[in-house]
Structure 1
């Protein structure tokens, strides 16, 4: 397949591009900068210059491809409304370009807010509906296109897609521990995050693109629940700093923007995903990655 990928030089996207190229697919990646374009060309991918606000360009690129993987997001933590607006507009544009084609649109979504008292499952629908919802309600918007001849595949990524070089949530926890000289968790530390190694997540994207049916919800989850206290303890051991509880009202000051997520339970099952795609994660665990020095850069 010829696959158009947004977010193609991001943390997950660059691994997805490699996975697709290594398995014989042709990739065109969206690049905002010349540096990103060069990085894609070096990987063996084609390049489409533009960004998420270039809706006309997104439509043209999607229409020329056999499949679309949408991984880009502005992630503007200072202006989440703008991130939500851009996400909804981009997803709607990509989906409109594929109406009636039966071609796949695989989009990245999140697990936050899906379930609270138990790990989320693929059968749980996202409560984010409408343009003012988190991520602009893009998951529900996209899934509605399954009845319009688009093979929509919503892929919920674990809050920690980890590995050497990760700059996401866990890297920010490590940075906070270095800054304050203590590794923290919120409250009792009994909230938990799902996790998946970056390579396993990339392989899931490729498998979903190749065979998941329209309207599928996939969970890129290798570990169902890693407690935030266990994450803090592993970071504390590696940095040789004490492990402490941080009061919820102090989370933002201690952790920065990631403080709003440390106290949230974002655990999830991937039982249905594994069964559907014969996906068997083989990468290291999150704690193994922390202890092996994968976050020494943070």
Structure 2
């Protein structure tokens, strides 16, 4: 199967690229420069040099693929518009029989969820991702045009050096961890390689469509994660709890995401046979520290 992938050198995208290559699929990966082209090629992909904001640089590659997997997001003032442009470009390409589109969203569109919620829950997005439900809807509506549309909502991704858990690993190694709020909030978590496995599963299952949550259902609080990482750090770090209003002044709307309390379930993913190999950050702290050092 031929896959067109955006974000193939990013945190989620690199894991997804690896998973598709391991499964024997051809991956055309959109990259911005020669350095990233080398990174994608080293992982087994064919680089497509271009920019998501410039459709002519990748429209043909997207049109030639059996399926399109969107994992990229540009964290800049133009990020939302670039995301919309990518959807415009992909959805304008030919819709052959069985052609699929996988769009990466996230659990933050659910908003606060102190009680367990699944894929049927109403959306109450936090400010940082207030635009995402509209983009999800565009993808899902593409079913009427002949696409097999899929929206994946990853939890907080862990593994390696990047992401929110990667930041905690770095902070623990630097002997000072800052926790936004009281730390009793739950983060719905997912190991990067387990998440990537779900992308391959939905791509290769012709009956898979709609929304899929992806998290390990460990229901760990930030305090539990921090305590475990502190225990495995080389030196015991100090932990400072930063009130949310203070954090918002310094970090903007991202602070709300860090303090969000969510208990999320992924029944539709599990119905496909998806079963995460890791179910806990706290229970795998030593392993994650080793990965962080090795991949850093």
Corresponding residue for residue 280 of structure 2 = 285
Distance 2:206 2:164 in 1: 28
Q: CA RMSD in A?
A: 2.6
Distance 1:174 1:283, change over 3 A: closer
How far off its partner does 1:52 sit?
Answer: 1.1
Give secondary structure in 2 for the equivalent of 1:5.
strand
Distance 2:146 2:124 in 1: 24
8 Å contact from structure 1 (residues 58, 90) kept in 2? no
How far off its partner does 1:177 sit?
Answer: 5.3
Distance 1:256 1:285, change over 3 A: farther
How far off its partner does 1:274 sit?
Answer: 0.4
- Determine whether 1:23 maps to 2:23: yes
- Determine whether 1:194 maps to 2:188: yes
Distance 1:125 1:107, change over 3 A: farther
Distance 2:286 2:189 in 1: 15
Distance 1:41 1:178 in 2: 32
8 Å contact from structure 1 (residues 187, 245) kept in 2? yes
How far off its partner does 1:257 sit?
Answer: 7.6
Distance 1:251 1:222, change over 3 A: same
8 Å contact from structure 1 (residues 233, 243) kept in 2? no
Distance 1:133 1:261, change over 3 A: closer
Q: 1:211 aligns with which of 187, 192, 205?
A: 205
Corresponding residue for residue 93 of structure 2 = 97
8 Å contact from structure 2 (residues 158, 164) kept in 1? no
Corresponding residue for residue 251 of structure 1 = 247
How far off its partner does 1:258 sit?
Answer: 4.7
Distance 1:172 1:252 in 2: 18
- Determine whether 1:144 maps to 2:141: yes
Matches within 5 A, 1:1-298: 1-76=1-76, 79=77, 82-99=78-95, 101-117=97-113, 118-127=115-124, 133-135=130-132, 137-159=134-156, 161-163=157-159, 165-176=160-171, 181-211=175-205, 213=207, 215-237=209-231, 238=233, 239-252=235-248, 258-275=254-271, 277-283=272-278, 285-292=280-287, 293=289, 294-296=291-293
How far off its partner does 1:183 sit?
Answer: 2.4
8 Å contact from structure 2 (residues 119, 266) kept in 1? yes
Distance 2:241 2:124 in 1: 30
Distance 1:3 1:166, change over 3 A: same
Distance 1:256 1:230 in 2: 25
How far off its partner does 1:236 sit?
Answer: 2.8
8 Å contact from structure 1 (residues 184, 232) kept in 2? no
Distance 1:35 1:208, change over 3 A: same
8 Å contact from structure 2 (residues 109, 133) kept in 1? no
TM-score, scaled relative to structure 2: 0.86
How far off its partner does 1:31 sit?
Answer: 1.1
Distance 1:214 1:242 in 2: 46
Distance 1:6 1:125 in 2: 28
Residues 122-169 of structure 1 show CA distances to partners (whole Å, capped at 9, x for unaligned) of: 1125456xxx9434731111111111111010001112x111x23111
Residues 271-290 of structure 1 show CA distances to partners (whole Å, capped at 9, x for unaligned) of: 22101x11111136322443
